[in-house]
Structure 1
Amino acid sequence: MTGTATTGPATRTPPRLAGLILINLLALLLCGTLLALGTWQVHRRTWKLDLIARVEANAHGAPVAAPGPAAWPALTERDAYRRVRLDGTWLDTPDTLVRAVTDLGGGSWVLTPLRTDAGFTVLVNRGFVPGDRRAPVARAGGARAAVAGLLRLDEPGGAFLRANDPGADTWYSRDVAAIARARGLPEPVAPYFVDAERRPGSDPDRDLGAGLPVGGLTVIRFHNNHLIYAITWYALAMMVAGGALYLDRDAWRRGRAA
């Protein structure tokens, strides 16, 4: 009589347990990602608060002499919005009109080159003119000028989906290098421009009728929603962890009942 071979019990992991392990691994990965995102937003908030404090200090401090060529290589975003002063002569060069949208409506910034007494050229954003007043704003080439304003970093290329077109004299950003080339400004040209302050006693609404361009319209405003974002990511991480814990506990109770 021929005997039949028997096999031992299977050692496969039950499907329910395998699925639970997979869910826990995915939950662990997702929790780690969400916690990392939340921590990144905390660091971003610290950076943003430092930026806001630095800009506020720069914008409301006493004006200093505009940095000259020796200081240009070291300029960084930490120098943005610093109050500076310029003394020099307006160049007899056409103004450059750069498209702008302000609290006063749509129009253009008026950029005018100033040759400083220190021997370098700076583009000065003298202010805003509305869209129906795009004719060159009167100013005397060769006239002396004393300008106080905010140092702004270069804006190369153009705006979102709108590239500057020097050949057509169409500008969407204050691209210092490109404007200097298009206008043939005398070297050296500062790698920044200066937003001129509002004239003492001026009023923007009144100046729209006379006294153009309207200066002092620089917007210093930074969105700081990083704390909300951090709380959101951390809350999602807790929800994922809570969901995984609930499934584990439910599986454990089912196992005991079986």
Structure 2
Amino acid sequence: MTDLQNETAFRPRSRLAVVSILGLLLIAGLLALGTWQVKRLFWKLDLIARVEQRIGAPPVPAPPRSDWPNVSPARDEYRHVALHGRFLNDEETLVYAATELGAGYWVMTPLALHDGTIVLVNRGFVPMERRDPKARQQGRIEDEVKVTGLMRMDEPKGSLLQSNRPREDRWYSRDVGAIAAARGLSPVAPYFVDADASSIPGTLPVGGLTRVVFPNNHLVYALTWYCLAAMTAGMLVIFWRSARKSNSGAA
């Protein structure tokens, strides 16, 4: 066999090897992505189950100051808690909100507790035309009150479209640290509480509007990656058969 014949025979074999390696690597990557999505699926289902259990549980005392360093989303997000204190109504902050009731504001009101600490409470929603506290005097609570609601984590980054503007008193996210600094409040818990529905029906703000939604498309993603892996494997098999026939014909 001449050198030209050897080179001609070598090229198909080298191409077969390269395509085979790349195809197998691609299949392995797609299978890994599918398996990762399956793990994410079980993690998400466990998260949903834990959150639903927290929401439906009786209220427990909110974490005190000594426990603030341990507060975390995994442990505390959506925990049903209870607080006793007095609202600092003159220090409330309105945070822009788009809800099922339309556009308006969340009313973030500091709650002064007996131990001297402060927890921001999202008392609920008010429409834009009722943002002035004088337009909702009936819902203003001056006496000591018990608040129950869901623990929420700080939102320091602002919304996707707007950043908070403390100097202009324009707020688009419930940034506990920034709101506390703007109002001169201290010490303030590193979380806030979404209050349950008001005990005074028909008054503003409207509480109990927390939406607990966890997108769960992991099964669809997993099936997609596995299907792509199967399709790639099928194409690789077809390529191998074609190469085998070509080699047989050449022989």
Q: TM-score, normalised by structure 2?
A: 0.91
Unaligned 5+ runs, structure 1: 1-6
One-letter amino acid of the counterpart of residue 217, structure 1: L
Match of 1:4 in 2: none
Aligned to 2:193: 194
Superposition pairs of residues 35-184 of structure 1, within 5 angstroms: 35-77=31-73, 78-136=75-133, 137-138=136-137, 142-184=142-184
Could you tell me how far 1:97 is from its partner in structure 2? 0.5
Q: Which amino acid aligns with 1:249?
A: R
The amino acid that maps onto 1:67 is P
Q: Residue 142 of structure 1: CA displacement?
A: 4.8
Counterpart CA distance in 1 for 2:45 and 2:115 is: 35
Once residues 54 and 100 of structure 1 are traced to their aligned partners in structure 2, the CA distance between those partners, rounded to angstroms, is 27
1:145-173 deviations in whole A, cap 9, x for unaligned?
11110010111021113111100001111
The equivalent residue for 2:3 is 9
| Counterpart amino acid of residue 192 in structure 2 | F
TM value normalised by structure 1: 0.89
Residue 21 (structure 1) shift = 2.0
**Larger Rg belongs to:** 1
CA contact (8 A) 1:81 1:151 kept: yes
Give me the whole-angstrom Cα distance separating, in 1, the residues matched to 2:155 and 2:241: 57
Residue 18 (structure 1) shift: 2.5
> Cα offset for 1:44?
0.9
* Cα displacement (A) at 1:94: 2.9
Residue identity matched to 2:116 = G
- Alpha-carbon shift at residue 92 of structure 1 (Å): 4.6
Please state which structure has a larger fraction of its residues in helix: 2
Change (3 A) 1:213 1:163: same
For the residue of structure 2 that corresponds to 1:158, the secondary structure is coil
Q: CA deviation at 1:140?
A: 5.0
CA-based RMSD of the aligned residues comes to: 1.8
Number of residue pairs the alignment of both structures matches: 244
- The answer on whether the counterparts of 1:195 and 1:218 sit within 8 Å (CA) in structure 2 is yes
With over 3 angstroms needed to count, the CA separation of the structure-2 counterparts of 1:121 and 1:201, relative to structure 1, is closer
Distance (Å, rounded) in 2 between the aligned partners of 1:201 and 1:228: 44
